[in-house]
Amino acid sequence: MALLGSLSRDFSSVKAPRIRWFFIGLAFAATVVNYLDRQTLSVVEPVLREKLHFGDIAYSRIVFAFMLAYTISNGISGPFIDRLGTRLGYALSMFWWSTASVLHVFARSAWGLGACRFLLGMGEAGNWPAAVKVVSEWFPAGERAFACGLFNSGSSIGAIAAPPLVAWIVLKFGWPPAFLVTGFTGFIWLAVWLGTYSSPRATQPLKEPPPSAWSLLRQRFVWSLTLGKIFFDPVWYFYIFWFPQYLASARHFDLKHIGFYAWIPFLSADLGNLAGGGFSAVLLRRGVPLVAARQTAIWVFCGLMMSAIPAVLAPDARWSIAFVSLATLGYTGALANMLALPGDFYPANAVGSIWGLASMGAGFGGMLFTLITGELVARFSYTPVFIGFGLLPLIAAAIIGWVTCAARPETVLIKY
């Protein structure tokens, strides 16, 4: 079977049922839970730093443990979900990472915290391959970027909710209940998902097993997308894992004020998810070719991410938060279009594997730049870090916008 068609398994000739919006809503909710679990540590970190006695370099290694597991699991979870199917694969991922989140309660050292983050990263990696499969199964090409932006906006909502929610729980009840509350929300989602989701009949004839990871990596589209994400996603990881700490150490915010203000950049990121999908959809409606629409959107929103540079130079913390907010809007706007790319060219039984492989690039980049961040902050300041993360998106845009989008899947037979 050829691994391509101009637009794989498009539902343009099939009446797409309204239930698809409910299912993308579930993917959105899962992404909210994913980021609540992920972001809890960055909010609690100033408290744990005192309780467990660790510094910036140790914290960078704790984040590195998460990224290491996340990276390894991305290469496994994508093919795993493609083979198990969306319903069961998504459910197992949610069960794993929710359990790992609850286990944080038992951490009594930086090493124990790192072990819990490792387990969390193993499970959380499955969210995006599974959610991308939901989109590829239920949405036609013209709606995919918007649908991807919609479910991915859950990451911003989770990041918005985490600072005030977690700060309130910690101040009221202490730090262990914060991990319990965020962890148990995943089990509620799991019950709803297993009781409702099924793949559409339009995709059920795709009974062939997915292509192997090696056969996919030999395609320029896949390896260049993976390479581009090495330089793209570490910017987001910096804001997720380090921004509350930046407010505490560089801007002298206490936990209460972190809870008040650290959510703002993630609100703008939520708007970026919708703006990115909507922007490319408008271009498509005006007759811009699909690849050109994706390229344009990626370049425009990656350009906005350069606002990280004035963010660190601004003397007023309010301006700094505003510039970071513009950068996070740019990140999610570009990502909404990147998420749609595999489904634009490949059949539904391959997109989970493709996004899992591409996310391995994000993980490798995240591990590398997390360690660099810890060293730079400890030895110098946040200034070189923000400048670097303002420039990295341009490298990513060059690779993904020029190489990946131009590398249409090769017209060869892929052996299964």
Mean pLDDT of 83-98: 91
Instruction: Please check whether residue 3 lies inside any domain of the structure.
Output: no
Instruction: Please check whether residue 414 lies inside any domain of the structure.
Output: no
Helix extents (H) in 85-126? 86-103, 110-124
Instruction: Please give the Cα distance from 140 to 154 (Å, whole number).
Output: 21
Checking if the pLDDT of 413 tops 70, the result is no
CB distance 356 to 79 below 8 Å = yes
Which pLDDT score is estimated for 201? 60
Where does the pLDDT of residue 301 fall: very low under 50, low under 70, confident under 90, or very high at 90 and above? Answer: very high
Helix axis angle, 317-345 to 290-304, nearest 10°: 160
Mean pLDDT of 354-358: 79
- The secondary structure of residue 4, as a DSSP letter, is -
In the chain, count H helices and then E strands. Answer: 17, 0
Instruction: Please check whether residue 169 lies inside any domain of the structure.
Output: yes
Which pLDDT score is estimated for 84? 85
Residues 221-234 have pLDDT tens digits of 888 888 899 999 99
Mean pLDDT of 254-278: 83
Checking if the pLDDT of 216 tops 50, the result is yes
Residues 331-341 have pLDDT tens digits of 999 988 888 88
Checking if the pLDDT of 10 tops 70, the result is no
Query: pTM of the prediction?
Result: 0.70
Instruction: Please check whether residue 12 lies inside any domain of the structure.
Output: no
Mean pLDDT of 239-245: 83
Tell me, what CATH number does 154's domain have?
Answer: 1.20.1250.20
Instruction: Please check whether residue 11 lies inside any domain of the structure.
Output: no
Helix extents (H) in 250-380? 255-261, 264-285, 290-304, 308-313, 317-345, 348-379
Report CA 244 to chain centroid distance, whole Å: 18
Instruction: Please check whether residue 13 lies inside any domain of the structure.
Output: no
CB distance 393 to 305 below 8 Å = yes
Which pLDDT score is estimated for 409? 53
Task: Identify the domain containing residue 130 by its residue range.
Answer: 19-406
Cβ atoms within 10 Å, residue 35: 24
Instruction: Please check whether residue 57 lies inside any domain of the structure.
Output: yes
SS (H, E, C) 149-210: HHHHHHHHHHHHHHHHHHHHHHHHHCHHHHHHHHHHHHHHHHHHHHHHCCCCHHHCCCCCCC
Checking if the pLDDT of 204 tops 80, the result is no
Which pLDDT score is estimated for 6? 35
Where does the pLDDT of residue 188 fall: very low under 50, low under 70, confident under 90, or very high at 90 and above? Answer: very high
Torsion of CA 415, 74, 403, 241, to 10 degrees: 180
Which pLDDT score is estimated for 244? 81
Q: How many domains are contained in the chain?
A: 1
Instruction: Please give the Cα distance from 373 to 382 (Å, whole number).
Output: 8
Instruction: Please check whether residue 413 lies inside any domain of the structure.
Output: no
